[in-house]
Chains A and B, each alone.
Chain A
Amino acid sequence: MTLEVNKIWCKGCYICVHFCPHQVLDLDEMGKVYIKNAKQCTACGLCELRCPDFCFTVSKETQGGTEK
């Protein structure tokens, strides 16, 4: 399972921070998203779904390989 963040596309809207059910994400002092608690990520994909600027790629290992 991986959570990738393309930070430069982030405009700091906080949508991911608020939608994440496990408080994985936060904004840094420049108002850009960063991964605060990677271990708590369950790859639910809400951040990827909600981000208006396509900053996230969430991959989940399945029996058939990696599902993005």
Chain B
Amino acid sequence: MSRTVFMQGNQACAEAAIVAGVRFFAGYPITPSTEIAEILARRLPQIGGKFIQMEDEIAGMGAICGASLAGVKALTATSGPGFSLKQELIGYASMTEIPMVIVNVQRLGPSTGKPTAPAQGDVMQARWGSHGDRGVIALYPSTVRETFDITIQAINFSEKFRTPVILLLDEVIGHMREKIVLPAVESIKLVERKKPTVPPDEFLAYKPDEDGIPPMPAFGDGYRFHVTGLAHDETGFPSGSAEITNALIQRLHTKIENHKEEITLYQEYFMEDAEMAIVAYGVTYRSAIAAVKQARKKGLKVGIVKLITIWPFADEVINKIAKQVKVVFVPEMNYGQLVNEVERVAAGQAKVISLPKVDGNLFTPQEILSALEEEVNRRG
């Protein structure tokens, strides 16, 4: 049965994690993500799960790597400074293909920054924060209800594609309370990781199926395997072969790229007849859609694309938009990050205008509307 509740984004994230089957949380509390840890500290032991507060964010990542290898769906939550600390082990989890979700409730940085001021400054860090080359999935909800759905989606993607998934939240979404209707638990589709079907003596831990994803037993299932961040062959042991290394790094990308259509989540509004478009994500989408509605009243043909999947970048979606409209606006609560991706894909087909904001405040719809009107006036 569906439930009507009044909750903040961080609570929606924690509740969704439980619904999705997460039974292990390890981390270190940090504003503005603390409620996720706080709620899971209370809820997980009630349902047979485990909560551990570690000595720091690095240890929190290590613990969820271990828990996931032991066969449990695992999640951690942090904010910018903790997200920086977690980067090495996020790369380790990519290399060793351990499913998990890392929630980053962003605050203004760099460094300690402004602990309760919203910002969208970790968009590129989610993609490139850990060293080396690998495919990355990062999702970005814009409402409390969407936080619930997308947290489940993040866990499902991580289990399906055997990769760490980054869930980026805005401070404002994390702390804002909204009345939402949660779906009936029975109606929610959950993904469980693929288990090996071969007998243990024939098992190769990193031998992918046709979809590029190797089945994953839990430690203790009877399948013995070696886990290393070193470049490894199908047995999981280190390899010095250039050929094997190449195949591994390629597969860390292609196992995500080959399923891009399934992974790319986005929504379009007012795009049918649009001559200008806004590309927005997270809480900035909410300011932008208000601006679009006001602009429509004034007769401006503006549409909006909301990106929920930030990484892999929605090349096909943006390419289609860039072919259709003359101008694409990219409002972001950072110095201009995802706009570079939009520009790359637009490749001159449409003019791309960056609307950066780094003062720790939200966009007002008026700020975005003014930018739209200014461009219209400039064009005459």
Does B250 make an interface contact (CB < 8 A)?
A: no
Does A12 make an interface contact (CB < 8 A)?
A: yes
Cα of A29 to Cα of B240 in the assembled complex, Å: 8
B 313-345 to A, binary, CB cutoff 8 A, 1 in contact else 0: 000000000000000000000000000000000
Cα of A32 to Cα of B231 in the assembled complex, Å: 13
Cα of A29 to Cα of B239 in the assembled complex, Å: 11
Q: Do B239 and A30 touch across chains, with their CB atoms under 8 A apart?
A: yes
The closest CB in chain B to the CB of A12 belongs to B240
Q: Which bucket holds chain B's interface residue count?
A: under 10
Does A47 make an interface contact (CB < 8 A)?
A: no
Total CB contacts across the A-B interface at under 8 A: 17
Does B238 make an interface contact (CB < 8 A)?
A: yes
Nearest CB on A from B28, distance (A): 28
Q: Do A30 and B240 touch across chains, with their CB atoms under 8 A apart?
A: yes
A 10-36 contacts with B by CB, 8 A? 10-12, 29-32
Q: Do B240 and A8 touch across chains, with their CB atoms under 8 A apart?
A: no
Q: Do B240 and A31 touch across chains, with their CB atoms under 8 A apart?
A: yes
Nearest CB on A from B234, distance (A): 12
Interface centre among A9, A11, A12, A31 (most CB of B within 10 A): A11
Nearest CB on B from A11, distance (A): 4
Q: Do B235 and A8 touch across chains, with their CB atoms under 8 A apart?
A: yes
A residues less than 8 Å from B240 (CB atoms)? 12, 29-32
Cα of A12 to Cα of B230 in the assembled complex, Å: 11
Nearest CB on B from A6, distance (A): 10
* Contacts A9-B238, A11-B238, A31-B240 known; 14 new A-B pairs at CB < 8 A: A8-B235, A8-B237, A9-B226, A9-B237, A10-B238, A11-B228, A11-B230, A12-B238, A12-B240, A29-B240, A30-B239, A30-B240, A30-B241, A32-B240
CB<8 Å pairs between A and B, sample of 17: A8-B235, A8-B237, A9-B226, A9-B237, A9-B238, A10-B238, A11-B228, A11-B230, A11-B238, A12-B238, A12-B240, A29-B240, A30-B239, A30-B240, A30-B241, A31-B240, A32-B240
